[in-house]
Structure 1
């Protein structure tokens, strides 16, 4: 993306983003539901504002057609289109995995081996495994909350506490899964491999996982739980294993997702869950779940291109880094930016897509390894998304548990610990990664 010649930029260039945030937040607050302002509509309105604005100090005014061309080039940027392809494949994988009962088998396997005396840490770890396998926090919350409510009723555990455990486990996978849309967004915007991002990210959140399990194991219930028997088929977990193993060895993500979908289709047909012909419809349905996210990513790309032309990106970069002299300060700026965007939009993927170009600029300016930048973007946006009482995760959990999302928020200990340790690791500069030559990184991603 072409850089603005005025490195201080112009405040006018940030107006489209401000318009979007004000529209989204005010609509949600005044109507009582953030669903009343669809993200796509809000971004389209902001994009219209960007197209209407004029760049201060232009010697020759840019025509409307030229602005539209900039917008289209920004939305069709190579990284964004690749991200869209991966989003669609991730949707296809989840659709097939759900229909062949891989999700059900993953949940039931965890519950079958769960010791009753470790019910809460066990439930959290099941949530971690399930969300890592599924790549979706919302799907994990929806799958585990009915079980969590039953556990709370039978053991006497605080229902808000148990709900917080489920949400925390769900955000683990949202942050780390190889098929999570946040991981896809973070790695593609920073042009790093999923394996590299995973290695940096897991080191930053592992202490939070361990301490959360310790804290949960210290909680006591008023009634002992009866161990139940759950049905599962270990073969149904093969697609998850395939995706995880191939991603860890560094295979191209398009190949990984394609092989994962193919393995799910084969197993589903063998088990009689669907036919080859009906699997095509399932794949299509899964892809439609990601259509909104894909289109939003393209629209955000176009809007960011116009913001860059108007000087907004440089203005934000200058304001965020004006008093920043070190890589540590740059990382804190990135964490603050993506956190504020997530608080405003309640969508960690969109927050990462919007913050990604600015984070990349900060990375280049202060010599920050892209693996760390991708990890910071994903970690802080996921943590806040699990703590916002008006975000989808707590709304779904509260709805199923029939309690206020606000009552759950103090018990999402894992997300709180993510923020604490994310900040600590920024301050101490660990784990360290060398800043690689960008040309080599891009070559490795081909």
Structure 2
């Protein structure tokens, strides 16, 4: 038998009610009214928070409402969430500066000039994969490339939601595989395996999704640039994006990368007379205000998750998914289901990996699952569902910048959808376990 939920209790289903109520409310109003914009995410999550405050915890008569407020505030102020809020603000500032000093226009025209028509969308996806793998963060990638994608979509006559979806997909590629990604670090540390071994197993599981996504994008109908058409661009204006890519490849922290990009954009804008020094401050501030709603949502979600943990919802979910696990394939499916549902509940793939990690390790040891494969499953499914959650940071940023509902982007995040499909296929056939057993043999 497995260890009893890594030392945790069974929890209670009541702890999941706030999330369930939010999802039902959001979907019902969105479908019923014909638009998901009719129920702002911040309002829907606020309603879920109110429900979490009202719900009592069975057997707990000592925790006061003030104690619940403290729990909520600690959850909303969690380190990774505050970091995410700062990245949101920096991303908005960079977007505002890049747009004002015409970096976006130059970057789009430069891409149209060098890429064959059929390779524009696949090229953008592969660039997103490269940038995210280099930066180790999907948020930084989305923030840097979505402005380019938005401008590009209007020039080639492609649905902006599709372009946002392919960028989010490419961003989750790096989130899943990068050696400096917090999800990779969390998965390998929780399962006590080497990063390079986890990478070998993981890349084999997602490579078919990458190849198919590139091929499908190559056949999307676009208004391809006419042969011989000259697209004007100023190479100097592209420098902020070049800085972001090069500094990411060097492994610089995402906050440092965004700050350098903003500063570079301001200097070039001043040099070209796009704005004065005082106007540049307003440009930076305006860009930040575009992300205020998203930053608030991140804090509310963090507080909501903390209250759900207090109410026992997360523990109940852990227990329900692991109590009947008996076979290796069943164990792998349990790990995938566990981390997926935790990611849906927390909208944070790193937190979901850390929460599921101890149980995944126990399941691996009991069912004979190679820990490196288990780490790959944890990272793959958490990253895939994070890229498909309309209230997670990636789609929130994309939707805010494109001024569309995050829900409308989900059908076009093809790479994340294919990650799930191929992840399940490889669990079903037991591959690449057998293929890699010589180099990835045994558990620690």
TM-score by length of 2: 0.71
State the shift of 1:310 in Å: 0.8
The answer on 1:352 being equivalent to 2:339 is: no
The runs of 5 or more residues in structure 1 that have no matched partner are: 150-158, 342-349, 400-404, 435-446
Contact kept, 8 Å, 1:4 with 1:311, in 2: the verdict is no
Q: How far does the alpha carbon of each residue in 1:385-444 deviate from its partner, in whole angstroms, 9 at most, with x for none?
A: 7xxxx99989x99x9xxxxx89x96x876555444345456664689999xxxxxxxxxx
User: 1:418 and 1:46, CA in 2 relative to 1: closer, same or farther beyond 3 A?
Assistant: same
State the shift of 1:263 in Å: 1.4
The answer on 1:361 being equivalent to 2:320 is: no
Contact kept, 8 Å, 1:24 with 1:37, in 2: the verdict is yes
Once the two structures are superposed, the pairs formed by residues 212-231 of structure 1 within 5 Å of their partners are 212-214=213-215, 225-231=226-232
The answer on 1:145 being equivalent to 2:150 is: no
State the shift of 1:330 in Å: 4.9
Q: Secondary structure at the match of 1:111?
A: helix
Q: How far does the alpha carbon of each residue in 1:195-226 deviate from its partner, in whole angstroms, 9 at most, with x for none?
A: x89x7988765543433444565789999953
User: 1:137 and 1:337, CA in 2 relative to 1: closer, same or farther beyond 3 A?
Assistant: farther
Q: Secondary structure at the match of 1:228?
A: coil
State the shift of 1:262 in Å: 1.1
User: 1:278 and 1:302, CA in 2 relative to 1: closer, same or farther beyond 3 A?
Assistant: same
Q: Which deviates further from its counterpart, 130-139 or 233-242?
A: 130-139
State the shift of 1:146 in Å: 2.3
User: 1:383 and 1:46, CA in 2 relative to 1: closer, same or farther beyond 3 A?
Assistant: closer
Contact kept, 8 Å, 1:236 with 1:267, in 2: the verdict is yes
Contact kept, 8 Å, 2:110 with 2:233, in 1: the verdict is yes
Q: Secondary structure at the match of 1:135?
A: helix
1:9 is matched with 11
Contact kept, 8 Å, 1:334 with 1:359, in 2: the verdict is no
Q: How far does the alpha carbon of each residue in 1:60-113 deviate from its partner, in whole angstroms, 9 at most, with x for none?
A: 331111111111111112221122112211211122122222221221111111
1:346 is matched with none
Contact kept, 8 Å, 1:87 with 1:294, in 2: the verdict is yes
1:123 is matched with 121
1:440 is matched with none
The answer on 1:273 being equivalent to 2:274 is: yes
Structure 2 Cα separation of the partners of residues 84 and 391 of structure 1 = 12
State the shift of 1:130 in Å: 7.3
Q: Secondary structure at the match of 1:273?
A: coil
- How many residues align? The count is 389
State the shift of 1:308 in Å: 0.7
State the shift of 1:190 in Å: 7.8
Q: Which residue, out of 39, 51, 66, partners 2:41? A: 39
Contact kept, 8 Å, 1:107 with 1:130, in 2: the verdict is no
Contact kept, 8 Å, 2:377 with 2:423, in 1: the verdict is no
State the shift of 1:56 in Å: 0.6
1:234 is matched with 235
Q: Output the aligned Cα RMSD.
A: 4.5
Q: Secondary structure at the match of 1:82?
A: helix
User: 1:328 and 1:268, CA in 2 relative to 1: closer, same or farther beyond 3 A?
Assistant: farther
Once the two structures are superposed, the pairs formed by residues 169-180 of structure 1 within 5 Å of their partners are 169-175=166-172
User: 1:98 and 1:203, CA in 2 relative to 1: closer, same or farther beyond 3 A?
Assistant: farther
Structure 2 Cα separation of the partners of residues 264 and 203 of structure 1 = 39
Structure 1 Cα separation of the partners of residues 102 and 204 of structure 2 = 31
2:136 is matched with none
Q: Secondary structure at the match of 2:274?
A: coil
Contact kept, 8 Å, 1:137 with 1:173, in 2: the verdict is no
Contact kept, 8 Å, 2:128 with 2:171, in 1: the verdict is no
Structure 2 Cα separation of the partners of residues 361 and 177 of structure 1 = 21
User: 1:270 and 1:360, CA in 2 relative to 1: closer, same or farther beyond 3 A?
Assistant: same
The answer on 1:310 being equivalent to 2:304 is: no
Structure 2 Cα separation of the partners of residues 148 and 221 of structure 1 = 6
Q: Which residue, out of 377, 380, 387, partners 2:382? A: 377
Structure 1 Cα separation of the partners of residues 289 and 222 of structure 2 = 42
User: 1:297 and 1:288, CA in 2 relative to 1: closer, same or farther beyond 3 A?
Assistant: same
Structure 2 Cα separation of the partners of residues 202 and 94 of structure 1 = 32
User: 1:91 and 1:302, CA in 2 relative to 1: closer, same or farther beyond 3 A?
Assistant: same
State the shift of 1:34 in Å: 0.9
